[in-house]
Structure 1
Amino acid sequence: MNFKSVASWLAASLISISAVFFAPSAMAEQKTITDVIGRAVKVDLPAKRVVLGFYFEDYMAVGGEKAYDSVVGISREAWEGWVPANWKMHLAHRPSLGDIADVGEVEAQTFSIEKVLSLNPDLVILADWQYQALGQDAHRLEEQGIPVVVVDYNAQTVERHVASTVLFGQLTGQDARGKEIADFYAGALKDIADRVAVSGKPKPKVYVEFGNKGPAEYSFTYGKNMWGAMSTAAGGDNIAAPFVEWWGAINPEQVLASKPDAIFISGRENNKSETALPMGEGVKADEAREKLKAFETRQGWNELPAVKNDALFGVYQGASRTISDFAMVQYIAKQLYPEQFTDVDPVANYLGYYKKYLPVVPEGTFAIAVKG
């Protein structure tokens, strides 16, 4: 081999070696994105090692099931502990979810920054409430050079739902899918608002309560966010809004004095109280209706317009603070303005969303009236 041949061979080898060592870096592109609280964050995209704090199904709906190939840590209690039937449904379909490291849960004060750091993530995604609660600990991650992106479905505003969905699209490399789902959500809420606007009737008064404590004790109601915002988007006049800013208990006397036209009790699968309202995956309608009817026995409730007119309903707590909550807004709106929503089947739309955007479809009770 002459000198020229050797030089050519060496040059070709160097190019080949460069391709091996630098191809992954070339594929990653640093972008500056703006999260839902207005922070400019530099992120290498698509992210390869993600810690996900909340909104697990929404991340999957936008990024696709394959997006979880890059998730190295989750706040597992916020999924397995809060909606265990939902977790089991996904785990049965994708057992590798059980192998993802648990970084702890913010509300239980078990969230571990050290555990997050040990996973060497290139991106941490937190709900706004998680970011605010962590405070300085969240800043510690950023000081270590780990970008933190904040998303928010808890606010239950179209703006934040859309922004969060678009962000998930950017972070998972599924920009088009993120925009498609964001447009779908915005369109669904606009359709509700348009139907309510032409009804011409005064806004019905609405009371919403988390039914986790059963009829014997009043639990949380909602002001500006979650079910409070959802009932407002459905065209309701939320009686708790003047008294509860975000979420919290309301004086029972205030409920009686406000005389709500419709009452919605939200329920879930994993209740500590035997009298709590069960709703969701695996829950039978007869069981849910029986527990819902018991709320009518509360002192003074037999005089409320909602109870007199059988306008007492159960809704699924797990279908709030998520993209799929459009169907629960539809359900509330349909009960308040039945003549405007005769062609809308909220529960079918809820299940249809799963069929289109997620790899599993739940079976159970997600919305129910006290009278069948």
Structure 2
Amino acid sequence: MKCLPKLGPLFFALALVLPAAAHAAPQTVKDVLGRQVKVDLPAKRVVLAFYFEDYMAIGGEKAFDKVVGISREAWEGWRPANWSLFTAKRPSLKTVADVGEVEVQTFSVEKVLALKPDVVVLADWQYKGLGPDVKRLEDAGLPVVVVDYNMELPANHYASTVLLGKIAGEEKRARQIADEYKHAVEQVQGRIAKAKLPKPRFYVEFGNKGPAEYSFSYGKGMWGPLGSLAGGDNIAAPFVEWYGPMNPEKVLAAQPEVVFIAGTESTKNPTSMLLGQGVDRTVASQRLQGFTQRSGWSSLPAVRNKRVYGVYQGASRTVLDYTMVQFMAKALYPSLFKDMNPEANYLNFYKRYLPVAAGGTFTAGM
């Protein structure tokens, strides 16, 4: 009994250590493919192959203190103005190791292994694209977790947001963002269901090739289901499974009532649709007008009624693409959404959840 006072400091130290150890214990999570993956959470070393903006919004800027590798081409190469915006605020992003990019087949398993991450976060399409290389990562003992915003399935958006929150150690913040996404989509669909109006026919095209050449339209992924969530009837659905160009004659024959042209900040093509960070609204509208001059388009209801709109490519496949659902719904059903300002909601998301302020043009009309 006389020895107990001497053990007091030891017991006190153990009391401090044990909760921390319990907090760091491995947890089994379910990813969007239904895979059960054991991961030490919150992760201290993360390889993040996609959804960079989402991860920072969900985990806060500090979440990138634990990111040791990224697929840099999928950020800097695809959205250079967005990359510049974030690196101006956080220059250390430029020093994060680049593990290569799946789509252009530069992703390096060896680089990932050398970083010794606690978890590798892949988009669904990256997981499928890597094929047997995923097994190489798992055989080396690296947990691989799959998330998805590309399919535009509300259930995947919600689950991916919550899962990224667990990885970053910000579950409460993640659920708040996920709930806001769910509420926004349900609000749009609720109004449309109550109105019981016919579904307007819409056509979406990635405007990266300019008016002279038809570029990708979308079936099951990205803008296709986004437009469906907004209550529209996608004319590309019977002809394009995932993404690819539609025959111009089929576009004319379908007589879309609303047309959306997606654009980025890229200036490589002087006639491409221009939208995004730092883009002037007048220039965006001029580029959009160019698409209406295509052969035969003057006969389209969308062109005759000036219902041709620009949407920002970078605002798809992300938890904040509910703002694009809002914009598309407003274009499809203008009388139902007069009170809604989707672009302001997009900018406000940045103010609330990201360390940088977005500025430019992210939606456009004629």
TM-score category of the 2 structures, normalised to the smaller one: over 0.9
The residue that corresponds to 1:283 in the other structure is 279
* Aligned residue among 69, 73, 82 for 1:77: 73
| Other-structure match for 1:349 | 345
2:217 aligns with 221
C-alpha distance in 2 between matches for 1:356 and 1:263:
31
The match for 2:326 is 330
Indicate the SS of the match to 1:245.
coil
Q: How does 1:195-234 map to 2 (within 5 A)?
A: 195-234=191-230
- Aligned partners of 1:208 and 1:227 also within 8 Å: yes
Alignment of 1:246 onto 2:242: yes
Task: Tell me, in whole angstroms, the C-alpha distance in 2 between the residues paired with 1:300 and 1:207.
Answer: 15
Match of 1:103 in 2: 99
* Residue 30 (structure 1) aligned with residue 11 (structure 2): no
2:116 corresponds to: 120
SS in 2 for 1:106: coil
Give the AA of the match of 1:295.
Answer: F
- 1:53 and 2:49 aligned: yes
| 3-state DSSP of counterpart to 2:76 | helix
Check 1:15–1:115 CA distance in 2 against 1; reply closer, same or farther (3 A cut): farther
2:355 to 354, 359, 362: 359
Residue identity opposite 2:297 in structure 1: W
Alpha-carbon shift at residue 199 of structure 1 (Å): 2.2
Alignment-derived partner of residue 168 in structure 2: 172
Shift of residue 91 of structure 1?
0.6
Q: Partner residue of 1:68?
A: 64
3-state DSSP class of the match of 2:195?
Answer: coil
Q: 2:314 pairs with 299, 318, 321, which one?
A: 318
Deviation at 1:198, TM superposition (A): 2.1
Amino acid at match of 2:59: G
Superposed CA offset, 1:52-77 (max 9, x none): 00000111111111111100000001
Distance 2:45 2:16 in 1: 20
TM-score under structure 2 length normalisation: 0.95
Question: Shift of the alpha carbon at 1:22?
Answer: 9.0
> Match for 1:140: what amino acid?
R
1:298 equivalent in alignment to 2:294:
yes
Deviation at 1:25, TM superposition (A): 5.1
CA contact (8 A) 1:212 1:271 kept: no
The percent identity for this pair of structures is: 58
Distance 1:355 1:245 in 2: 36
For the Cα contact (< 8 Å) 1:29–1:46, is it kept in 2? no
Query: Per the alignment, do residues 20 and 147 of structure 1 end up closer, same or farther by CA in structure 2, a change over 3 Å counting?
Result: same
Please give the alpha-carbon distance, in whole angstroms, between the structure 1 residues aligned to 2:97 and 2:170.
24
Would the aligned equivalents of 1:280 and 1:316 in 2 still touch at CA under 8 Å? Answer: yes
Deviations 1:150-172 (A, max 9, x none): 00000011110001001011111
Q: Deviations over 1:317-363 (max 9, x none)?
A: 00000011111110110011111101100011111111111111211
SS in 2 for 1:107: coil
Answer with 144-153 or 171-180: which moved more: 171-180
TM-score when normalising by structure 1: 0.94
- Calculate the aligned-residue CA RMSD, in Å: 2.0
Q: Matches of 2:113 and 2:13 in 1, distance apart?
A: 31
- Regions of 4+ moved over 3 Å: 11-27
Label 1:312 to 1:109 Cα distance change in 2 as closer, same or farther (>3 A): same
Q: 1:239·1:258 contact (CA, 8 Å) conserved in 2?
A: yes
CA distance in 2, matches of 1:115, 1:26: 31
Residue identity in the other structure for 1:225: G
Offset, 1:272: 2.6
Equivalent-residue separation in structure 2 for 1:160 and 1:291 (angstroms): 34
Gaps of 5+ in 1: none
d(CA) in 1 for partners of 2:196 and 2:157? 28
Partner of 1:43, secondary structure, is strand
1:21 Cα deviation from its structure 2 partner: 10
Say if 2:155 is the partner of 1:182: no
Number of residues of Structure 1 aligned to a counterpart in Structure 2: 365
Preserved contact between residue 126 and residue 151 of structure 1 (Cα < 8 Å):
yes
